[in-house]
């Protein structure tokens, strides 16, 4: 019932490894990678396997091509970037299954690495199709999942394939993700504080529910705060509110109180007369949001309050920005929180949404204990869910 990691497998020399990675990286209009953290994050596992002279077949998805071959979703840029990072040739296969790929894999020498073309060029991937999964195996003897960010998807290369490869294991990226998540949520040093932000409450209700059972404090920022504030009777102007979720939000608010979880909401905000970088802006308390204006960031008093709430924390988990940080005028709250978290004495774990982007942009990533590579996957862990890709690693890890 425990995950087997790649360093627990004897003798990788000459063995064919099918390694699922998540190289779903952002690209600009010219197919240039704008952020390669997810590629860098697998280098330890790759270097380990290469040092042992394994043969590595890398597989990933990129974007959502929906079962069709579309060149703009090619893995070519990722293969090229990886090749540069490794200082070693990474051949790109013309496809992810089929005779040509088979021949390429057959011809591999120890220490070779090839990258398959986008798995989502086939519908079988997202359908978790067994036949597609069998075709992916291509004679590989060892499966390694180092794709935490897609482990919440029961897809063929994540789930079904583990039934058809003798040895099922995980890489060091996965190990890091599991260890840090465990430290934060299973065995935290308290006080444990969760910071939640982002635009919407929808998609976060289960996270909130689960956090109420686990954490000592919950800090809410971002657009989602205004559904709570409206529920508390404030007039929030044109701020984003999900009216249909007010009752649910209030129910979690009550649950938190019943459980003795301290719940922090913004006390002031930056408001704008339109959703636009050039909007007119001002700072006001949440009681005084002018009619027709919208809150797009937390205000300075809130930053002080939230920073104060973090003061004695020993563990901090953070998902979601405090405002529309992509626009300068509404970025200060998020960046101030990044620095409060980065300079705290707590174990700090950041993931999901654009929180990692905010941390990078604030230049503080070196001071965060761990930045998860997962978006949706990290959120699902926070919801207390068992991810399908991790379940199969636990179930099959020591079977054979």
Give the residue numbers annotated as catalytic, written as ranges. Answer: 38, 200, 353, 376
Q: What angle do CA 40, 44, 47 make, to 5 degrees?
A: 105
- Looking from the CA of 293 toward its CB, the CA atoms found within 13 Å total 21
Here's the x/- map for Mg ion, 375-394, by CB under 5 A: it reads as: xx------------------
- Residue 108 CA, distance from chain mean position: 33
- 23 labeled part of a ligand binding site: yes
Task: Work out which of 266, 375, 389, 397 binds ligand 3PG, going by CB under 6 A.
Answer: 375
Cα diameter, the chain: 70
Sequence-distant (≥ 6) Cβ neighbours of residue 118 within 8 angstroms: 60, 61, 62, 63, 65, 73, 74, 75, 96
Let me know: does 22 contact 389? Beta carbons within 8 Å: no
**Cα(376)–Cα(24) distance, integer angstroms:** 13
User: Taking CB within 5 to 8 Å according to partner kind, which of Mg ion, ligand 3PG, none is near residue 153?
Assistant: ligand 3PG
In angstroms, give the least distance from the CB of 287 to ligand 3PG.
38
User: Taking CB within 5 to 8 Å according to partner kind, which of ligand 3PG, Mg ion, none is near residue 64?
Assistant: ligand 3PG
Let me know: does 170 contact 387? Beta carbons within 8 Å: no
**Cα(355)–Cα(338) distance, integer angstroms:** 9
Task: Work out which of 149, 211, 265, 295 binds ligand 3PG, going by CB under 6 A.
Answer: 149
- 355 labeled part of a ligand binding site: yes
- 146 labeled part of a ligand binding site: no
20 binds ligand 3PG, rule: CB under 6 A: no
- 112 labeled part of a ligand binding site: no
Output 221 or 375, the one with its CB closest to Mg ion: 375
Q: Give the residue numbers of the binding site.
A: 22-24, 38, 61-64, 120, 153, 204, 326, 352-355
Residues of this chain that interact with Mg ion (CB under 5 A) are 375-376
Residues of this chain that interact with ligand 3PG (CB under 6 A) are 22, 24, 64, 149-150, 153, 375-376
């Amino acid at each position: 019932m425990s995950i087997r990691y790649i360093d627990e497998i004897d003798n990788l020399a000459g063995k064919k490894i099918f390694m699922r990675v998540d190289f779903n990286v952002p690209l600009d209009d010219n197919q240039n990678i704008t952020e390669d953290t997810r590629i860098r994050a697998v280098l330890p596992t790759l270097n380990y396997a290469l040092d042992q002279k394994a043969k590595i077949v890398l597989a990933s998805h990129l974007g959502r091509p929906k079962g069709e071959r579309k060149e703009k979703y090619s893995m070519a840029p990722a293969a090229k970037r990886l090749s540069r990072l490794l200082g070693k040739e990474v051949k790109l296969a013309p496809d992810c299954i089929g005779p040509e790929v088979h021949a390429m894999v057959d011809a591999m020498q120890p220490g070779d690495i090839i990258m398959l073309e986008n798995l989502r060029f086939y519908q079988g991937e997202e359908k978790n199709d067994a036949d597609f999964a069998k075709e992916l195996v291509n004679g590989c003897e060892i499966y390694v999942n180092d794709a935490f960010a897609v482990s919440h998807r029961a897809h063929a290369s994540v789930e079904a394939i583990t039934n058809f490869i003798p040895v099922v294991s995980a890489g060091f990226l996965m190990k890091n993700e599991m260890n840090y998540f465990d430290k934060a949520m299973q065995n935290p040093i308290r006080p444990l504080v969760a910071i939640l932000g982002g635009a919407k409450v929808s998609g976060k209700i289960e996270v909130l529910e689960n956090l109420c059972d686990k954490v000592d404090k919950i800090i809410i920022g971002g657009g989602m705060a205004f559904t709570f504030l409206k529920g508390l009777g404030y007039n929030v102007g044109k701020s984003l509110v999900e009216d249909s979720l007010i009752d649910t939000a209030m129910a979690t608010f009550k649950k938190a109180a019943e459980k003795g979880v301290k719940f922090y909401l913004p006390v002031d905000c930056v408001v704008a007369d339109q959703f636009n970088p050039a909007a007119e802006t001002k700072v006001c308390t949440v009681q005084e949001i002018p009619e027709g204006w919208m809150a797009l960031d937390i205000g300075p008093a809130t930053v002080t309050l939230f920073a104060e709430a973090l003061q004695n924390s020993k563990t901090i988990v953070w998902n979601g920005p405090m405002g529309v940080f992509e626009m300068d005028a509404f970025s200060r709250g998020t960046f101030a929180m990044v620095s409060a978290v980065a300079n705290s004495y707590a174990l700090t774990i950041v993931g999901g949404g654009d929180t990692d982007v905010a941390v990078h942009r604030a230049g503080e990533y070196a001071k965060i204990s761990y930045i998860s590579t997962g978006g949706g996957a990290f959120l699902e862990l926070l919801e207390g869910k068992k991810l399908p890709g991790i379940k199969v690693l636990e179930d099959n890890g020591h079977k054979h």
